[in-house]
């Protein structure tokens, strides 16, 4: 599991750097194309058209369809990030592009000069988030954690009430956990303090499977101590999908 997290974080860092470089180069390409007469000037349309196409792709992207994986050494079941390109590095590249583009057109316009540092701050903030943390969900005997290697939130089983997680909704972005005791949740960062959300949009696991697994362990506390063993994982899959049992706990 740790190796998967480090591989995913390394890939994220590469993609965010590529996104920034592409955005900056796209801005410079646009400036050059504007200064050249003829059909070359159409190159100025390339960055916004590419961004629009990638944004439409993001809206149309389907959520994950995989099941949870098991790591017996960590005594956990988990989902790694979705294998497709995330939208965050695309946004980083776009803000880098419009920052360069705005700087070239600012002239004596104070509003444009005001927006340039705003674009820069947003770009750096998005890159920092993507640099530090991987979309990840882990179920252990302790509870549900979201994010890796440093979880955004750890929700103990004792904090959850009866009922199924709510979501992910039409956009397929979040599962809202049925929290009964929010004071038991351990959080980091600037996330919501009122509820517990698992961002499933960027995960490989099917939101329906993850929701059912969480609900299963809320309803069956006797199985929680053996979460992360092969036999318990087989029993979970049997309970949720009808898969044949390969061992007994």
> How does pLDDT run across 163-192, given as a tens digit for each residue?
778 776 655 688 899 999 999 999 886 555
Among the listed residues 148, 173, 161, the one whose alpha carbon sits nearest the alpha carbon of residue 214: 161
Identify whether residues 161 and 186 lie together within a single domain. yes
- In this structure, the answer to whether residues 118 and 11 fall within a common structural domain is yes
Interatomic CA distance for residues 167 and 80, integer angstroms: 19
Tell me if residue 178 falls in helix, strand or coil. Answer: coil
- Domains held by the chain: number: 2
Mean pLDDT throughout 18-36?
A: 89
Task: Answer whether residue 217 is part of any domain.
Answer: yes
Please check whether residues 50 and 106 belong to one and the same domain: yes
List the single range of 22-36, 59-73, 156-170, 185-199 with lowest mean pLDDT: 185-199
Query: Is residue 159 located within the same domain as residue 216?
Result: yes
Position 20 scores a pLDDT of 95
pLDDT greater at residue 247 or residue 206: 206
Residues 118 and 216 in one domain: no
Residue 31 included in any domain = yes
Q: Which residues pair with 81 in a beta bridge?
A: 203
| Neighbouring C-alpha atoms within 13 Å toward the C-beta of 67 | 13
Q: What is the pLDDT, as a whole number, of residue 195?
A: 61
127 and 139 share a domain?
Answer: no
Q: What is the chain's mean pLDDT, rounded?
A: 88
Does the pLDDT at position 22 exceed 90?
yes
* Residue 247 within a domain: no
Q: What is the dihedral of CA 187, 139, 66, 207, to 10 degrees?
A: -50
Of 158, 87, 153, 76, residue with least CA distance to 126: 87
For 94, the token pair is 């776009």
Handedness of CA 21, 23, 25, 28 (dihedral sign): negative
In a domain, 72, yes or no: no
Beta strands in the chain (DSSP E): 69-71, 76-79, 134-139, 143-148, 153-156, 174-176, 186-187, 197-199
Is pLDDT larger for residue 166 or for residue 222? 222
Share of the chain above pLDDT 70, in %: 93
Residues 158 and 233 in one domain: yes
How confident is the model over 43-49, as a mean pLDDT? 87
Domain of 52, in residue numbers: 2-65+83-132
Give the pLDDT confidence score for residue 76 in this predicted structure: 96
- The whole-number pLDDT of residue 62 equals 85
User: Where does 106-206 have alpha helices with state H?
Assistant: 110-132
Domain match, 40 and 108 both: yes
pLDDT in tens, 95-148: 999 999 888 877 778 888 888 999 999 999 999 989 999 999 999 999 999 999
- Both 32 and 101 in a single domain? yes
Beta bridge partners of 174: 199
Banded pLDDT at 249 (limits 50, 70, 90): very low
Kindly report the number of other CB atoms within 10 A of residue 212's CB atom.
16
In a domain, 42, yes or no: yes
Q: Among the listed ranges 50-54, 155-159, 197-201, 244-248, which one has the minimum average pLDDT value?
A: 244-248
pLDDT of residue 213: 95
Q: What is the pLDDT of residue 218?
A: 94
């Amino acid at each position: 599991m740790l190796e998967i997290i480090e591989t995913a974080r390394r890939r994220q860092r590469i993609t965010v750097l590529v996104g920034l470089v592409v955005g900056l180069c796209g801005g410079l390409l646009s400036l050059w194309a504007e200064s050249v007469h003829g059909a070359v000037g159409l190159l100025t349309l390339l960055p916004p058209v590419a961004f629009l196409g990638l944004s439409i792709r993001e809206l149309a992207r389907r959520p994950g369809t995989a099941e949870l994986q098991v790591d017996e050494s960590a005594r956990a079941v988990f989902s790694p990030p979705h294998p497709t390109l995330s939208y965050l590095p695309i946004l980083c590249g776009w803000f880098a592009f419009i920052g360069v583009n705005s700087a070239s057109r600012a002239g004596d316009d104070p509003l444009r000069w005001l927006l340039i540092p705003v674009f820069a701050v947003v770009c750096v903030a998005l890159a920092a988030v993507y640099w530090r943390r991987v979309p990840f969900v882990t179920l252990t005997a302790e509870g549900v954690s979201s994010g890796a290697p440093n979880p955004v939130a750890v929700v103990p089983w004792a904090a959850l009430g009866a009922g199924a997680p709510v979501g992910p909704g039409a956009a397929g972005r979040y599962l809202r956990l049925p929290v009964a005791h929010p004071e038991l949740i351990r959080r980091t960062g600037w996330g919501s303090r009122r509820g517990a959300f698992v961002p499933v949009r960027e995960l490989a696991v099917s939101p329906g499977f993850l929701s059912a697994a969480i609900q299963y362990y809320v309803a069956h506390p006797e199985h929680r101590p053996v979460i992360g063993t092969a036999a318990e994982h087989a029993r979970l899959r049997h309970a949720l999908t009808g898969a044949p049992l390969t061992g007994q706990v």
